[in-house]
Amino acid sequence: MILAAAALAALAIALAVPVPVALSRAAWTRRAPASATLLWQAIALSGGLSMIGSLAVLGLSPFGDDLLDAAAGLAEAVRSGSGAAVVPTVALGSAALLLAHLLLTLVLTTAAGYRERARHRALAQLLSSPLRADARVIDDPAPVAYCVPGDGADSLTVVSAGLVDLLDEGELEAVIAHERAHLEQRHHLLTTSFQAWSLSLPWFPIASVARREVALLVELLADDRALRTASAGALRRAIALVAAPGRESAATARIRIERIGAAPLPLAARIAVGALAAGLLLVPTLLLAGQAVPSL
């Protein structure tokens, strides 16, 4: 079990720093945002599983030769009141605390986001008027466009009067299509999970890097969906016109504009990324399963 704990710890360290750093610097992710997003999710899940699993295996190792025997040994130690059970190992306690902390932060972040979106939808409904079947307009001279996820028909796409005046019909269509893509693909669920990861580990810089990268990738995914109904030129012009200090960084706008029309990553490469993501999840799972039953 000690070797398995060491292997899981090594994987957790690799997925905590060098792997996400390399991925954040990779240029191919702009050409395959869906594949890159999948890989970021695999890194986060596998890294968390490896970290918690290594601590749990290390903490249980004194109680048995495999996880099943160790769990029974721990239960017997607790029942008998031995010192080893009364004062659990630091590793086992850390695993439990880390798991509880991550899950609690995710629940609280999700609940807070739900309440905030509900409040925002109510205000948007009150302060806006219908522009067309799939969008509402608010009386604001600044060029603004955003979406507020909800339950099906409750979702809103909102644009400002300033944006409507600034853009031509094709550009406005591109912006609305982009915002509708966020709703249809439910990007808020993805960004919320990475926000929770970042909030739960504020001292962990890679969590912030992952949150920032995923936020960019969902913008690229929405651009790709918008291009199914809007022209590339209209989308480029809309991004350039709407981007402004305080609304969207110049760097993000530049990335979005430059990658429109770029050749997508070859299918074989996207399949390889998907296989890598699956492998990242499979390795810690097999390591833990191998400790559950000695014959595995």
List pLDDT tens digits, range 197-236.
Answer: 999 988 887 888 999 999 999 999 999 999 999 999 999 9
* DSSP reduced 3-state for 121: helix
List pLDDT tens digits, range 45-82.
Answer: 999 999 999 988 887 777 777 777 777 777 776 676 66
Average pLDDT value for the chain: 87
d(CA 167, CA 159): 11
Residue 40 in this model has a pLDDT that exceeds 90: yes
What is the pLDDT confidence band of residue 87, given thresholds at 50, 70 and 90? very low
Q: Are 148 and 135 in contact (CB under 8 A)?
A: no
HEC string of 1-63 equals CHHHHHHHHHHHHHHHCHHHHHHHHCCHHHCCHHHHHHHHHHHHHHHHHHHHHHHHHHHHHHH
List pLDDT tens digits, range 231-264.
Answer: 999 999 999 888 765 555 778 888 999 999 888 9
Which of residues 31 and 153 earns the better pLDDT score?
Answer: 31
Residue 83 in this model has a pLDDT that exceeds 60: no
DSSP state of 152: G
What is the pLDDT confidence band of residue 282, given thresholds at 50, 70 and 90? very high
pTM of the model: 0.88
